[in-house]
Amino acid sequence: MKTPFLAHALAFLGALGLAQAAAPRYTLIPLEDLGGGFSQANAINASGQMAGNSYDTENLGQGALWSRDGKLAYHGSLPGTGDLCFAFAIDAAGQLAGSSNATASGNLRAILVPAGGAMATLGSLTAPSAPAANQGDYLAGYLASEARGINKSGAVVGYSYVGSENRAFIWTAAGGMVALPAVAGVPYSAAAAINDQGVVVGATSSSSNFVVRRAVRWLPGSHGVRPPPAELGTLGGSGSEATAINGSGQIVGVSRPAGDATKRAFLYDEKATPKMRELGDLPSGTDSYAAGINDSGQVVGTVSDNNGSRVFLYTGGTLYDLDDLVPNSGWTDTEATGINAAGEICGYGTAPDGTTQLGFLLRPVKTVVPPPAPAARPAVKITGAKKLTTAKAKVTIKGKATGQVTSVTAKIGRKTVKARGTASWSLKAALKPGKNKITAIAHGPGGDSAPARLTVTRKP
């Protein structure tokens, strides 16, 4: 089940033709469910633990934690008769953030599940808890809330809402839940993610139905006071939305290009020109949605065509889809939701049986590059007879060398002379009266050749 904010975002999807290139390979690991034939992974941490949700045999939704082998390590919901619980975010320690209700069809409340601890609600934005100049205006009745992001400090972000009216919040153990500041005339907002530096991203809107929105970034500010959010712009159209941010401050999301006919995945980088750009060469008339980015700048998300949605991975300037990553997987209608530093991707889709929707982990297949074969030793030979007699004080010796040869040298008594050439070589040898023993050796990456020998006798 997709909650309102996510459902709005996923409505952006359409059809997309992806560039084909030599793709990395992945292994797909299905995630265990609670017996209801449904599991969904929404986030992944550096250890490969995944946060999400699953349904049991009574169709009750529970927040879930999976280990990187796809096995359930935790599942639960708020005490009571609630029927929905989602884990949307996970920190490095395995702490979960999400939402749950305590009564059937009751308001969802943002929740936090400490690693190994009990689930607790974070409350909602129901009344001012700080001066408006600091935290922005409040609207009464914001009884529901959902947590969407968490960082290593345990700061949680998300949005509180009444009906279709959203208001972004940040929650800390010390300060509780407070609204993130708003821009005058743009009161509605939703926070989607927070990085370890405390930068929050999401979207704002001047309309209560949140149909037209703009991607924004809330900086930490000084003395605990955050400034109003800064808009990130669009790809030329009327709206945009930020969904994830990495440790370097790179942001991904979705935006309308000029003409508003489609919606496209974007990467925003403050240091780049332009700062916001589309991910790859997306054909006209198609949509895409970016959901996660790691510190290496790899981006994952979802694209769709007439046959349904599918995972995409953007890496090294190229877009790949699930069929590139896991050929003939049998999975359909797949969506990617997160990627960690190791390049592991989490998401969900329809399993090969055609009916079960399960979460999955895509784990990169390590390419083993065999070490290069050692170079063979070269060979050398001296042209002509192995024994010569001459009255001259100098002679020219010629020969050939085969294999990988870098040089040829000859030792004449105690003196070493370097030959000219390698494959065909020659050198001049000064002779002393009597017998002169000459030894030629070829040198190369594989070592030295066996010696070639020549005896030259100089007559007095």
pLDDT of residue 22: 60
What structural domains does the chain harbor?
Answer: 4-364 (2.120.10.30), 379-458 (2.60.40.10)
Residue type, 411: K
- CA–CA separation, 441 and 450 (whole Å): 7
Pairing of strands 165-172, 50-56: unpaired
Q: Which helix (H) or strand (E) holds 51?
A: strand 50-56
pLDDT of residue 453: 94
Task: For the beta carbon of residue 164, count every other beta carbon within 10 angstroms.
Answer: 13
pLDDT of residue 404: 92
Q: What are phi and psi of 133, to 5 degrees?
A: -65, -25
Over 391-446, what HEC string results? Answer: CCCEEEEEEEEECCCCEEEEEECCEEEECECCCEEEEEEECCCEEEEEEEEEEECC
Nearest residue to 356 via CA among 337, 326, 334, 325: 334
Q: What are phi and psi of 66, to 5 degrees?
A: -115, 145
**What tokens were used for 280?**
């790859």
- CA–CA separation, 419 and 422 (whole Å): 8
Provide block-wise average pLDDT over 10 residues at a time, the chain (460 residues): 41 38 84 96 98 95 96 94 94 97 88 94 68 43 90 96 89 92 91 97 90 93 84 95 98 94 92 92 68 97 82 91 88 95 97 95 88 90 92 93 94 90 91 93 94 92
Question: What is each CA distance from 1 to 18, 35, 364, in whole angstroms?
Answer: 28, 16, 28
- Measured between its terminal Cα atoms, the distance across the chain in Å is 104
For the whole model, what pTM was predicted?
Answer: 0.77
- CA–CA separation, 427 and 332 (whole Å): 72
pLDDT of residue 211: 79
Residue with tokens 């550096």: 46
- CA–CA separation, 200 and 193 (whole Å): 6
- CA–CA separation, 246 and 295 (whole Å): 5
